[in-house]
Structure 1
Amino acid sequence: MTHPSTTLDNCSIDWLSYEYGVLIIVSVGNHPRLRLTPSNSREIADLVGEDRRQAILDAQQREQNNRRPLAPAESVNALTVGALHDDASGADPRGYALDPTDGLPSLSPISATGSGYRRSIKPDLVANGGRVIFRDPPTPEDSVSFTSLSSLGPGIRVATPAQNKEVFIAGTSPAAALVTRQAARIHDLIEQITAGRTITRRQRASAIKALLVHGTGFVHDLSTQPLAPEAALGNGSIQRDFADGCATNEAVVLFVGSIGAAQEQELLFPLPDGLNVREAKRIDATLAWLSPVNWRHRQYRRAAMSFVKPAGSIPKLQTPSGLSSDTTTRGAATVQHQSWELNSTFGSGQGSNMVVRVKCFEQAGGLAGQEVDFAVALSLWVAPTVNVDIYNQVKTQVETRVAVRPQ
């Protein structure tokens, strides 16, 4: 059962986010103490490399019910951030201070894991949260406590009023701060590309959310087993900052709009020439919105949106390379992100389109005729060896297009 104060915190953030059209970024929460039973601290300290990392992940999975996201991390409109056990400090633990993953990439052992309201994905994404350490006590214990506060590192370096003026910290709070900084840069980018056009505050907030999640992915050597990847990493870790722009071998098109209940919008991505070669290609799609909520109703989220697998003048897409559609749309999510990798040739070029259809359904008492603002980021990437200027071909075609209206 959810504690009443937890419900109030989540509802307050969801209402404020929708009412004022702002994207609120929150950390998923920290659990600095990890119970190790049936293992103990000495056995963990004696392990090295992959064995130690796996032992910590196994303990996190056993204790998952006690290490769930902390309020207000379950907010459906907020972007919730978890932490990776990584940083750029360059400092290594010494003496009795030990690295819980022995230098291997991993989910932070203090980052909360689980899911959001009605099993929706939470956290939405993860970012570097700094490395933590634990100490090997003289007498073996059934749990370990992870610490981070240090003037030397490892961790994320931040300002402090103390004598040294700087200190290293770790956890989901610095991870959320890094994502917030990236969100601010994306906000400025959206202001630039929409100059002279009118968009609503909710569309802008949705666009920031979409572009942040659109830049995520799963790192192959970052294992989360036996934890489910969506419970540990959400949609993945941040791999790209689109405020830095695109390379010539990729293009990202950002759509913003409004849609009502039982309506559908068809979004067109103009395709470039030169894709009739059998080389690696990737299609990514991310839908984000802010939903009005009804805290008196079990379903809570009043606007349920999703997109249909991209189609049109492209080869038929198979199984997504990341999370499944069922996983990304379950519960009370307000973000859907999927990626497809393929090597097929495209028998199409300029004048043809990739098509994505966005749908909206009302629930939890309905929308009472109001439309919901949303944003979609849709991208096409091809291997650099294809040697095709994807970006400028798509840009040229987009500049001559007109807005698509609801059907």
Structure 2
Amino acid sequence: MIGSRTEFKVANPTEKETAVVKSLFADARNRKLLSPAESINGLTVGAIQYDSAQFEPVGNRFNPFLHDLPSLVSAFGSGYRRSIKPDCVFPGGRMLYQEDLGSSRQDNYVIAPVVPSIRNTPPGNQTAIPGPGKQPESLGVAYSSGTSNATALISRAAGVCYDSLQQLFTEQAADVDTRAFDAPLLKAMLVHGCAWGDVGPKIADLLRTKENKRQISGLVSRWMGYGVPQVDRVLDCTAQRATLLGFGQLSDGKAHVFRLPLPPSLGARPEWRRLTVTLAWLSPISPGTQKYRTAGLWFEVKGISLAKDRQESCSGTGGWQTVKRGTVQHEVFEGHKAEPFSDGGAIEIKVNCREDAEKIKKPVAYGLAMSLEVAEDVDIAVYDEIRMRIVAPAPAPAAP
């Protein structure tokens, strides 16, 4: 492993990236989330070392990563009671580094971010600032990096999701008071499009050893949570991908079952398919107990198993348990095997509730997002076939 100044300076970019990532994980206990980032109800957002700026490094400044990995300033989880934290990571701008002359030694090479953190040259996220002139229309730009940038961009995405959600409620549930479900549904929508993409496997490749290969998904989750949100996946469907939203309220020992109709054209065809399910809620807290979380909700996927292989955060040893410890459960299932079923078949998603730290005094609101998809080049009209088979429940008969 690279350690000295000489070894680092003669190393190629791939070797430098590997050395930096391994050093970060070796020091993870000193890089943990700080309050209030470990909040059980809030979404914790880390940063990806990425932006769209064009620049050339100057002098001894350098980008330590070849790939769009989580930022060096992005803290490590896990969250409270070993839950998934951070929940997601989002582009927070590239941060350049240079040797920390005050701490670096010949046998212990130390790097530090280039200062100042807000500057007038790239890289970083570009933002508008007051310009040098005195006129009101005089504008300038600045570049910055960090987890605050990523959080601001996710907050903007939440606003887009909120507008879309309110439009859906107006069109399909105008007679229902949905205010209690806004927050949990927004949490579910923001996380639902999360995926590790190429980033998770790259981190896994850098860290994998014979000893930790079964725990590798847990190591990746500590740095990037459920992954990078692709919010457009929950806002827009395609011919090969259908996304459904559900919501409700549950008390201790109660459950709701949602049925996701299966597209008949997928029956008995060995095509790649993915099922993504995200459950989110805001739990009352019990600060006087170690458990802290009052309400524990979780979902189970039942019925016809088109996709059985757990992916990403919910994979590996104990991954299926880890995703149930917070207030967001996000699972991705994939499969290729042909599963025969007739028209009318469905995947059942059962949402359960139980008391955790203490008794649940009033029903807990939750939001649920479900997506079923096949590859974009497959001639299966997933969206149309599912939409045709969604039947609104018949109204209960009026009392005599």
Tell me which interval the TM-score lies in, with the shorter structure as reference length: 0.7 to 0.9
Please tell me whether residue 286 in structure 1 is matched to residue 261 in structure 2: no
Deviations 1:356-380 (A, max 9, x none): 1111110222113x11100111110
Greater Rg by CA: 2
Please tell me whether residue 394 in structure 1 is matched to residue 386 in structure 2: yes
Please tell me whether residue 143 in structure 1 is matched to residue 136 in structure 2: no
Determine the C-alpha separation between the residues in 1 that align with 2:392 and 2:178. 21
Counterpart of 2:122 in structure 1: which amino acid? G
Please tell me whether residue 382 in structure 1 is matched to residue 357 in structure 2: no
Deviations 1:126-157 (A, max 9, x none): 01111111124679544221134321211111
Determine the C-alpha separation between the residues in 1 that align with 2:160 and 2:243. 16
Please tell me whether residue 193 in structure 1 is matched to residue 168 in structure 2: yes
Change (3 A) 1:55 1:197: farther
Extract unaligned runs of 5+ from structure 2.
Answer: 133-138, 208-215
Instruction: Name 1:363's counterpart in structure 2.
Output: 356
Contact 2:89–2:150 (Cα < 8 Å) also in 1: yes
Q: What secondary structure, in the 3-state scheme, does the structure 1 residue paired with 2:293 have?
A: coil
Query: What is the TM-score of this pair, normalised by structure 1?
Result: 0.83
Determine the C-alpha separation between the residues in 2 that align with 1:295 and 1:394. 44
Counterpart of 2:256 in structure 1: which amino acid? Q
Q: 1:270 aligns with which of 261, 282, 285?
A: 261
Please tell me whether residue 133 in structure 1 is matched to residue 96 in structure 2: yes
Determine the C-alpha separation between the residues in 1 that align with 2:44 and 2:373. 27
Q: 1:112 aligns with which of 75, 93, 98?
A: 75
Determine the C-alpha separation between the residues in 2 that align with 1:161 and 1:97. 28
Q: 1:91 aligns with which of 45, 55, 69?
A: 55
Instruction: Name 1:28's counterpart in structure 2.
Output: none
Structure 1's consecutive aligned runs of 4 or more residues displaced over 6 angstroms after TM superposition are: none
Contact 1:266–1:404 (Cα < 8 Å) also in 2: no
What's the CA shift for 1:349? 4.9
Contact 1:41–1:136 (Cα < 8 Å) also in 2: no
Counterpart of 2:81 in structure 1: which amino acid? R
Change (3 A) 1:346 1:401: farther
Q: 1:351 aligns with which of 337, 344, 348?
A: 344
Instruction: Name 1:157's counterpart in structure 2.
Output: 126
Determine the C-alpha separation between the residues in 1 that align with 2:38 and 2:294. 16
Counterpart of 2:236 in structure 1: which amino acid? G
Determine the C-alpha separation between the residues in 2 that align with 1:403 and 1:327. 38
Contact 1:100–1:133 (Cα < 8 Å) also in 2: yes
Instruction: Name 2:249's counterpart in structure 1.
Output: 258
Determine the C-alpha separation between the residues in 2 that align with 1:301 and 1:168. 39
Counterpart of 1:207 in structure 2: which amino acid? L
Contact 2:188–2:368 (Cα < 8 Å) also in 1: yes
Deviations 1:238-269 (A, max 9, x none): 23424641111010111100111011111111
Contact 1:211–1:242 (Cα < 8 Å) also in 2: no
Determine the C-alpha separation between the residues in 1 that align with 2:68 and 2:6. 22
Query: What is the TM-score of this pair, normalised by structure 2?
Result: 0.85
What's the CA shift for 1:202? 3.3
Determine the C-alpha separation between the residues in 2 that align with 1:403 and 1:149. 58
Counterpart of 2:53 in structure 1: which amino acid? S
Deviations 1:324-352 (A, max 9, x none): 2112113xx00000111111224235422
Counterpart of 2:382 in structure 1: which amino acid? I
Determine the C-alpha separation between the residues in 2 that align with 1:173 and 1:404. 47
Counterpart of 2:111 in structure 1: which amino acid? V
Of 104-113 and 161-170, more deviation after overlay is shown by: 161-170
Q: 2:295 aligns with which of 295, 298, 303?
A: 303
Extract unaligned runs of 5+ from structure 1.
Answer: 1-36
Determine the C-alpha separation between the residues in 1 that align with 2:53 and 2:223. 24
Instruction: Name 1:5's counterpart in structure 2.
Output: none
Contact 1:99–1:134 (Cα < 8 Å) also in 2: yes
- Aligned ranges for residues 169-248 of structure 1 at < 5 Å? 169-195=144-170, 196-222=174-200, 223-224=202-203, 225-226=206-207, 228-242=219-233, 244-248=235-239
Determine the C-alpha separation between the residues in 1 that align with 2:280 and 2:38. 16
Change (3 A) 1:221 1:296: closer
